Structure 1
Amino acid sequence: MASKKPVNRPSVRHPSHNHPLRIFKSQEGDEIICSGCELDLIGQAFKCTKKDCDYVLHKSCFDLPRETKHKSHLAHPLTLLHSPPYGHSYTCDACGQYGSGFTYNCSECQYDVHVGCAFIPETVKREDHDHPLTLVYSTPCKGREDGAMFICDVCEEDMSENLWVYYCKECDYGTHVHSCAVYEDHQPKKGGGEGGRGGGGGESSSAAARMKSLMKAQDEMAAMEMAMMQAQLDAIDAAGSYVGSWEPRRRYYW
């Protein structure tokens, strides 16, 4: 009896990784971390073909532009690096947190931004504040001669003057860009109580969670693109060609 011929699924290449990658769909509850942005993996992705390698990328991270001109650093363009430029990690100049994955980097100024921070919304809304908060690229205390420190109005911790802030100028109210910047959920509130503010109110999320929800909202569109790409790869594979240098369209879904 003839043995079954092994299925040769087509693969693609990405400059961040030595091994070929294949299309991968993460499932809810998988608890997989993207090797690029270091956020939870959601929706369409690419996974390493090697069984002992756990390298995986969001499709949006796979498609990140190689260079971007960012409002936070107008002097020079920022270049996408697939590993930290200073060793095993770097400190993000936007949020002040460490990173070990992709970064947008200015080598001349040693300026680094998480790829997740690079595309956070320019305005957010907190349920406990009357006005939208606007993203600014340093604290309002930067350059003050009296040495005053800006204090986050949510966690009440001092903030370095160069960190990005979500800020309301009218009220002199500001927060960290991730852990304290909470978005208002526009779902109807549940529960009783005066003013409709009983228990079980709408969900809120950090800026990182908001980005992930935006990526999830784009999942259907990404799935269509992935299906088309899979069909193209299957056609190439059937023709006996090797897919070694597929060039993605430069787009992302933050």
Structure 2
Amino acid sequence: MWRTTARVAAPIAPATPLILKNRPTRVQCYFCNESIHWGFAYHCSQCNFNLHLKCASIPFTVEAEFHNHPLKLLRKSVSFTCDACGKEDKDKYSYLCTSLTCSLMVHRKCASLPLTVKHIGHKHTLNLIGSSQVNQSDRQICGICVKKVDTDRVYYCSKCNFVAHLDCGTHEGSMEEIKKEDSEVVDESSINDSLAYAVKKIRMGEDKIEIAEEINHFSHQQHDLKLIDELLINNENCDGCMYPIFPPFYTCAQCRFFLHKSCVELPRKKQHPFHSHRLTLLTKVPDYDVFHCNVCGRDSCASFTYHCEKCWFDADVQCSLISEIFTHEGHDHPLFLSRAPYHEKCSCCDGKGNVFKCADCEFTLDLRCATLPHTVRYRFFEQPFKLCYSTKYDSDGEYYCDICEEERDPKHWFYYCADLNFTAHPDCILGINPYKK
């Protein structure tokens, strides 16, 4: 049974003892300034002083994991720059180092920072260190919120040169339990090392580079595939990702089977930034003709999927190629995967979700836009449509989709064919299932 003391002398309270009372009306906690909506609170009737139960137990002295001396509660409202997070703040209560040789002063919440954390946004544990200990070869960007890191202390992974703000690294709901295997060294060079094909014939290319001219791929083991560098007359789709075939590609003349060279070179197993387990390249999700891509949110009937049998997690080919940092021809600066625990608006479609962010400007790109194919075909048109990022093709100043005939937002990305002078929304030209052959 839960018990508490009916009368208490709290270290942050006035000299008069506080009495535990059931508060039927809303009052404000003197310590944290948050409302006490209902239930029990410590109360002084003489001065109308109220405290949450948890705030009444705030200790006079704490032992911070990152500091060698005890920290004492300073019961005075002062403006200061926290020596842990580096933020300038006016805090009603803070902790001050009791040593005469040290002047450390920190926020209440910073006094309880753990030395090591495990965040869902990173595969390794993060250690609390001084920012001067971080590898300074690159500008430091928080790997969680994608904003500049300029504080005295950070959470850091030396294996990946991954840096996180203190608030980001300890955000409620984003921390995982630290397991023994988290601290073990993993040979990541072997994660993406399994070839999906066997080379049958090699020719020497330019600069004496070996080129696999004929191969046998796991998805079409009955016949060998030959490398082609010419554009096909008939419109064909890749039998792996279902996108239109453009050279170079591999084909089986007997079966009219086609694979992009990039799809052939996909490894059988790989690690993905959106999932904690290794994914295996399959030709179909077991027992299903259509699968849901857990990265971009689209349904797909593509042949290839990266699949996790433990979690039933799937990533289509385009989404399997996503890395935590990448460049896109639709933006001038590198984009970083945001691990922020909230959804953000995409600059290219106004949708909300998980995004890539630019550390140099306010540009954001959600996963659906990040994985849009650069070139597509539409119905019976032989001419390809290209993904475009500006309104330079709309010389008349009017922005419409030639498929649905609805108005387009000029800030949003679109598909365009110069030969046909044809413009379309991405969803209109791709349809419900862009991978259908």
Q: Normalising to structure 1: TM-score of the pair?
A: 0.52
The structure-2 alpha-carbon separation of the partners of 1:56 and 1:70, relative to structure 1 and needing over 3 Å to count, comes to same
Distance in structure 1 (CA, Å) of the matches to 2:315 and 2:247: 24
Matching residue of 1:216: none
Residue 27 (structure 1) aligned to one of 225, 230, 253? 230
* 1:40-92 C-alpha deviation (Å, 9 max, x unpaired): 32323222232xx3321123322321111222212x11111111234111111
Distance in structure 1 (CA, Å) of the matches to 2:292 and 2:228: 30
Distance in structure 2 (CA, Å) of the matches to 1:98 and 1:47: 26
Percent identity, aligned pairs only, is: 29
Residue 102 (1) aligns with residue 304 (2): yes
The structure-2 alpha-carbon separation of the partners of 1:181 and 1:38, relative to structure 1 and needing over 3 Å to count, comes to closer
Residue 123 (structure 1) aligned to one of 293, 301, 326? 326
Instruction: Quote how far apart the aligned CAs of 1:156 are.
Output: 1.3
Residue 175 (structure 1) aligned to one of 348, 351, 365? 365
Query: Which SS does the other structure have where 1:154 is aligned?
Result: coil
Matches within 5 A, 1:40-79: 40-50=244-254, 53-74=255-276, 76-79=277-280
Query: Which SS does the other structure have where 1:108 is aligned?
Result: coil
Amino acid at match of 2:226: I
For structure 2, the 5+ residue unaligned runs are 1-212, 373-389, 394-412, 414-437
Runs of 4 or more, structure 1, over 6 Å off, are none
Distance in structure 2 (CA, Å) of the matches to 1:174 and 1:198: 19
Instruction: Quote how far apart the aligned CAs of 1:14 are.
Output: 2.4
How many residue pairs were aligned? Answer: 164
Cα-Cα RMSD: 3.7
Matching residue of 2:286: 85
Largest Rg, 1 or 2: 2
Q: Normalising to structure 2: TM-score of the pair?
A: 0.32
CA contact (8 A) 2:285 2:291 kept: yes
Distance in structure 2 (CA, Å) of the matches to 1:23 and 1:35: 14
Residue 16 (structure 1) aligned to one of 196, 216, 219? 219
The structure-2 alpha-carbon separation of the partners of 1:11 and 1:109, relative to structure 1 and needing over 3 Å to count, comes to same
Instruction: Quote how far apart the aligned CAs of 1:153 are.
Output: 2.3
Distance in structure 1 (CA, Å) of the matches to 2:214 and 2:391: 51
Amino acid at match of 1:36: G
Instruction: Quote how far apart the aligned CAs of 1:173 are.
Output: 4.2
Amino acid at match of 1:176: D
Amino acid at match of 2:365: T
Instruction: Quote how far apart the aligned CAs of 1:155 are.
Output: 1.1
Q: Which of the pair is proportionally richer in helix?
A: 1
